[in-house]
Structure 1
Amino acid sequence: MKNLLILGAGTSGTMMANHLRSKLKKDEWNISIVDQYKTHYYQPGFLFLPFDIYTEDQVKKDGKKFIPNGVNYIQKKIEQIFPDENKVKLEDETLSYDLLIIATGCKIAPQETEGMKGKNWHKNVFDFYTYEGSLALRNKLREFKGGKMIVHFTEMPIKCPVAPLEFVFLADDYFTKKGIRDKVDLTYVTPLGGAFTKPKATAALGHLLSEKNIKVVTDFAIEKVDNETNQIVDYGGQIVDFDLLVTVPTNMGDDLIKRSGMGDDLNFVPTDHHTLQSLGHKNVFVIGDATNVPASKAGSVAHFASETLTDNILLYLDGKPLKQEFDGHANCFIETGKNKALLIDFNYTQEPVEGTFPIPGIGPLKLLKESIFNHWGKLAFRWIYWNMLLKGIPIPLVSRNMSKKGKKIE
Structure 2
Amino acid sequence: MSKTVVVLGAGVGGLSVASRLREQLPEKDRILLLDRSFDATLGLSLLWVMRGWRTPENVRVRPTPAALPGVEMVTTTVEAIEPQQRRVLTEAGEIRYDALVIALGADLAPRSVPGLAEAIEAGQAEEFYTTHGARSLHQGLLNLRQGRLAVLIAGLPFKCPAAPFEAALLAADLLRETGAREHVRVDTLTPDPLPMPVAGPVVGQALVGMLSRYDIGFLPQRGLERVEGENRRLVFTDGSQEDYDLLAVVPPHRPPAAVVGPGLGTSGWIPVDARTLTTDHEGVWAIGDVTLLTLPNGKPLPKAAVFAEGEADVVAFGVARHLGYEAPTPWFTGFGSCYIELGDHVAAKGEGNFLEAPAPMVTLLEPSARFHQEKADQETDWIKRWNA
TM value normalised by structure 1: 0.86
Structure 1 unaligned runs (5+)? 354-366, 392-410
Deviation at 1:322, TM superposition (A): 8.8
SS at match of 2:195: coil
Contact kept, 8 Å, 1:269 with 1:290, in 2: the verdict is yes
Q: With CA pairs under 8 Å and 6+ residues apart, which has the higher RCO, 1 or 2?
A: 2
Deviation at 1:139, TM superposition (A): 2.6
Q: Determine the structure 1 residue equivalent to 2:290.
A: 290
Q: Determine the structure 2 residue equivalent to 1:348.
A: 355
Change (3 A) 1:327 1:232: farther
Deviation at 1:122, TM superposition (A): 5.8
Deviation at 1:319, TM superposition (A): 8.0
SS at match of 1:139: helix
After superposition, where does 1:164-203 map in structure 2 within 5 Å? 164-197=164-197, 198-203=200-205
SS at match of 1:48: helix
Contact kept, 8 Å, 1:352 with 1:368, in 2: the verdict is no
Contact kept, 8 Å, 2:187 with 2:218, in 1: the verdict is yes
Instruction: Give the alignment partner of residue 251 of structure 1, picking from 250, 253, 256.
Output: 253
After superposition, where does 1:63-212 map in structure 2 within 5 Å? 63-64=63-64, 67-121=67-121, 123-197=123-197, 198-212=200-214
Deviation at 1:107, TM superposition (A): 1.7
Change (3 A) 1:348 1:311: same
Instruction: Give the alignment partner of residue 333 of structure 2, picking from 304, 327, 338.
Output: 327
SS at match of 2:182: helix
1:387 partnered with 2:384: yes
1:378 partnered with 2:375: yes
Structure 2 unaligned runs (5+)? 294-299
Contact kept, 8 Å, 1:296 with 1:328, in 2: the verdict is no
Contact kept, 8 Å, 1:87 with 1:96, in 2: the verdict is yes
Q: How many residues align?
A: 374
- Structure 2: how far apart are the matches of 1:81 and 1:213? 48
TM value normalised by structure 2: 0.91
Deviations 1:362-404 (A, max 9, x none): xxxxx5211111111122221122235x59xxxxxxxxxxxxx
Q: How high is the sequence identity, in percent, across the aligned residues?
A: 27
Contact kept, 8 Å, 1:200 with 1:351, in 2: the verdict is no
Q: Determine the structure 2 residue equivalent to 1:48.
A: 48
AA aligned to 1:93 is G
Structure with greater helix percent: 2
Change (3 A) 1:333 1:33: same
- Structure 2: how far apart are the matches of 1:239 and 1:190? 13
AA aligned to 2:252 is T
